[in-house]
Amino acid sequence: MKNNKEMKNENSDNIAAMGIGAMIVFIALILVAAVASAVIIQTAEKLQQNAQTAGEQTQDQMASKVMPLNIVINAAGTLQMTWELAPGSETIPWANIEWSITCQAGGVGADAGTFASAGTNTAAVSANGGTTGLPGQVYQTTLIAANCAPATNQNHFLTLAAGNSGFTYEVLTYGSSVAQGTVVV
């Protein structure tokens, strides 16, 4: 039979082994928690960066675009467009603003150009001068529609692109009259 002293040493050894085991489990839990928190922090940073990038892209798409106020038939084959840049836009050079008019489905032809070019199938800025569109100012531009001239009871489609940013689509609705001064937008 074991004596009392041997039993006491054996109990102490068992308690010490249990303490060391608990300490190892505790350290393992701390390491797992540290790794998990690092993964969570890294994921949160990545999500924040993605959200910021998406927000900036959305702001560029929505803010930097041309907003037509009205479009009126000016003369045979020409449209007078009054427009401004969307609120929050940055300045946009005329050469970076492109337009195109597409004829009604089934029709033939299209017209296109930039606000900087002049001559046939192009737009020439006629009001406020300069070579750059500024937010908060109203401009007038003459669109020459040689291939898609205004025609009674038809719809043509105007697309405006401001650089690599926003696009604007308008339906040019021609009613029973295409006389000078008729409002189509």
> Could you read off the pLDDT of 116-134 as tens digits, one per residue?
764 333 345 554 456 778 7
pLDDT for the residue 107: 63
Stretch (H or E) spanning 93: strand 92-93
Q: What is the pTM of this model?
A: 0.66
Claim to verify: residue 77 and residue 165 sit in the same structural domain: yes
Domain end call among 63, 79, 104: 63
Helix (H, G, I), strand (E, B) or coil at 85: strand
Range(s) of the domain holding residue 11: 1-63
Distance, in Å, from the CA atom of 101 to the CA atom of 96, rounded to the nearest integer, reads 17
**Could you report the per-residue pLDDT of 78-100, keeping only the tens digit for each?**
888 888 888 878 888 888 888 99
Model pLDDT for residues 1-21, shown as the tens digit of each residue = 556 666 666 666 677 777 888
51 and 71 assigned to the same domain: no
